[in-house]
Structure formats: structure tokens, C-alpha cells
Amino acid sequence: MEKSKIIVFLDSLLKRPSIQNADVDAIRDEVINGDVLFSNITIKILTILGAFISAGFFFLFLGIAGLFNDELGQLISGVISLAAALFLFKSNKGLFWESIGVMLSMVAHGSIFVSFLQMDLNLSVIHLVFICISIGLIIFADNFIQKMSSVIIIFVGTTVWLHDFHLWGMVPVLSGFVAVALTYYTLKETEFISASRLNNISFAPIRLGLSLSFVVLIGLGAINWMFFDVESYYIPYVGSILILGCLGYILFKTFKKFDIQNGQLYSIVMLLLLLPLINNPGIIGSVFLLILGFSAGYKIDFSLGLMGLIYFISRFYYDLDYDLLTKSYMMMGTGLLFLIAYGVFLRLESRTKLMKS
């Protein structure tokens, strides 16, 4: 978006009487001169890749130099790296120093993790420490990538606990709770960004972190628990019910927003159509993410939901224990149902247009 168009849009926004006590100079400075608007996806990906490769080689150096042998030294160097990273994030010196901060943070996490492993600490205790570190980084680190990564560490790392306590089957339940958090957070966007400065700058990275965590969790939940040598009970339907609840809420709010008659009925019908898939949180989760992404205008969520839908549906039919003929009848029947629904929808649309005219 060219600077002239940005200025026109900003000026039109600032003229709105609903905006009170605006620090116009600070707004113009951040919008027009800030790195954010001139930094596109290429620059963000370069930053992440560079930090990742640099951290990898640094770790290789530490390993070969034998610096992993001293667990206390590792821990101290990890803490110092973390402190340095935080300092760089807070100092706001620009994208260059922030990318060094990201690299130091990756090194810090790796060093602390290795030192705890060498101290023979339980994985659950290690994860608890990382949850505390991540919460601290979310609050204090003014960096998009750091906040987003911290959210992912909290939720995806919790699967380590589940594995340790032989509760791998609870992964779909965890994904259900993440879905609830993601729905609440996304739909309350305007309230969060207007609440406080911390909430405002944390909103986007936390939301994206929740989204990516949800995708990883429904992927992990779809992995056959038999691969893991744990005794676990597989209760995917609890997670699916939570996700369906969130989906129902989004649909209900959407129908209410556009004043559609019988909106509650349509929402219930759609949920009932998905009910047979309750043992497959992958498909239900993908539909949820697709609808949530579309309703809130987030293309990443929409795309992830669409890709997930294609993958999980393919996987569903592949895993079905029926012969090809039965599967073919099921798919043709499902396809025909959707095509009939398409025809009905077109008819309803044209009837509504006729009534309006």
C-alpha cells in the first residue's frame, strides 16, 4: 500500500468523532515511519530464517566446544542470553536488533532446555519452567515473533505433560480448550485492542500463536494413539463438542448480525450435520478454523482451515475400514447431498431477490 493511500486512510480515520484523546503525532510517526508498515512477509521470513540458522550454528559451536558438559554454565548462559534478548526487545532499536534478540532467545531456550535435561529434571517440571518463561516473555517482550512463539510453546508443550502422564488421548480435549480461547480472543478483538497498550500490542501475535497451536494440536490429535507406547483413553468427542460449541456460537452471531430469520435453527441444523463426525476433531476443527478465519477476515486461518479440511477428509476416507465400492457409494451420496444443498441454496437466493424486488 503506497504511503499516499496510507495517509488518506489515516486522515479519514482520525477525523472520526468517536476517536478521543488521540496522540496524533505518535500515531503518524508509527504509521508513516514505523518498520511495521514497510516490513512485508519477505522481511519477516528472512528474520525468522536468519535467527534459526544462526542459533543452530551457535548451538553446534557450543556442543563441539564441550560447553554442554557443564549444566550450570549452560543454565547461566541461557539466562544471560534471555536477559539480553529481553533488553533488545524493550530497547526498540529496530528490526536488526530485534532479529538478534530472536536469535538470542532461541539460543537461551535451547541452553536452558539442555541444562535441565542434563540435570535429569522431569520433562513436566521443565515444561512448567518454560510456561513461566513464556508468560514472562508475552508480557515483557515487545516482539511479534517472540510473543507468538511463546504462545505455541505453552500450548504445544503441554502435550509433553499429557504424554508423561499417559494421557495422550486428551490432546483433542486440549485442542477444544484452545478453540474456545481462540474464538473468544478473535471475536473480542476490538475490546482487547482498545483495553490497554499491552493488550493492543499482544493481540496479533497471541491470536496467531493460538491459531497455529490449534492447527498443531488437531494434527497431533489425529495421530493414532497406537503409535505412542502409552496406555491412554481416546476421547476425541469431548474436544469435538467444545469445537462444535465454538462454531455454533460464531454461526449464531453471524446470523444475528445480518438479521437472518431462523438463524438459530440454521446454526443447529449445521451443527447436527457435523455431529456424525464427532470422533474426528480434525475435520470439525478445520471447518471451525475456516469459518472463524472468514468471519474475522483472517486469510491465514481461512487457508489453514481449507488445507486442513482437504487433508483430514482424505485421511478419513483412507482410514475407513470398508472396501472401495462402499467408499465410492458413500462419497457419491455425500457429493449428491451437497449438490442438492447447492441447488436449494441457489433457489432460496433467487426467491429472496424476487421478494425484495
Using the rule CB under 8 A, is 346 a contact of other proteins? yes
Binding-site member from 80, 119, 132, 341 for other proteins (CB under 8 A):
341
Provide the 3-class DSSP secondary structure of residue 342: helix
Which residues, 101 to 130, sit near other proteins by CB under 8 A? 103
Measured between alpha carbons, how far is residue 233 from residues 4, 168, 270, 279, 320 in Å?
A: 59, 8, 29, 13, 20
Q: Name the residue type at position 161.
A: W
Using the rule CB under 8 A, is 14 a contact of other proteins? yes
Judge contact between 137 and 86, C-beta under 8 A.
yes
Which residues, 220 to 259, sit near other proteins by CB under 8 A? 254, 258
Binding-site member from 233, 262, 345, 347 for other proteins (CB under 8 A):
345
Binding-site member from 72, 87, 90, 96 for other proteins (CB under 8 A):
96
Using the rule CB under 8 A, is 203 a contact of other proteins? yes
> Of 80-88, 168-176, 229-237, 320-328, which part binds other proteins (CB under 8 A)?
320-328
**Chain-centre distance for alpha carbon 296:** 14
Which residues, 253 to 272, sit near other proteins by CB under 8 A? 254, 258
**Chain-centre distance for alpha carbon 331:** 31
Which residues, 25 to 44, sit near other proteins by CB under 8 A? 26-27, 30-32, 34-40, 42-43
Which residues, 142 to 161, sit near other proteins by CB under 8 A? none
Q: Which is nearer to other proteins, 20 or 224 (CB)?
A: 20
Q: Is 300 buried (19+), middle (13-18) or exposed (0-12) by CB count in 10 A? A: middle
Supply the minimum distance, in Å, between the C-beta of residue 265 and other proteins.
16
Judge contact between 246 and 272, C-beta under 8 A.
no
Supply the minimum distance, in Å, between the C-beta of residue 23 and other proteins.
4
Q: Which is nearer to other proteins, 87 or 233 (CB)?
A: 87
Using the rule CB under 8 A, is 319 a contact of other proteins? no
Q: CA 13 to CA 31: how far, in whole Å? A: 12
For residue 101, how many other CB atoms are within 10 A of its CB? 26
Binding-site member from 119, 339, 350, 351 for other proteins (CB under 8 A):
339
Supply the minimum distance, in Å, between the C-beta of residue 349 and other proteins.
7
With cell 535451547, the residue in question is 110
Q: CA 174 to CA 79: how far, in whole Å? A: 30
Q: CA 113 to CA 236: how far, in whole Å? A: 31
Binding-site member from 100, 180, 230, 277 for other proteins (CB under 8 A):
100
Supply the minimum distance, in Å, between the C-beta of residue 139 and other proteins.
16
Q: Name the residue type at position 297.
A: G
Binding-site member from 99, 134, 186, 213 for other proteins (CB under 8 A):
99
Judge contact between 234 and 226, C-beta under 8 A.
no
Q: Is 226 buried (19+), middle (13-18) or exposed (0-12) by CB count in 10 A? A: exposed
Provide the 3-class DSSP secondary structure of residue 128: helix
Using the rule CB under 8 A, is 184 a contact of other proteins? no
Supply the minimum distance, in Å, between the C-beta of residue 233 and other proteins.
32
Which residues, 292 to 311, sit near other proteins by CB under 8 A? 294-297
Which residues, 159 to 178, sit near other proteins by CB under 8 A? none
Judge contact between 31 and 37, C-beta under 8 A.
yes
Supply the minimum distance, in Å, between the C-beta of residue 158 and other proteins.
29
Phi, psi of 64 (to 5 degrees): -70, -35
Using the rule CB under 8 A, is 320 a contact of other proteins? no
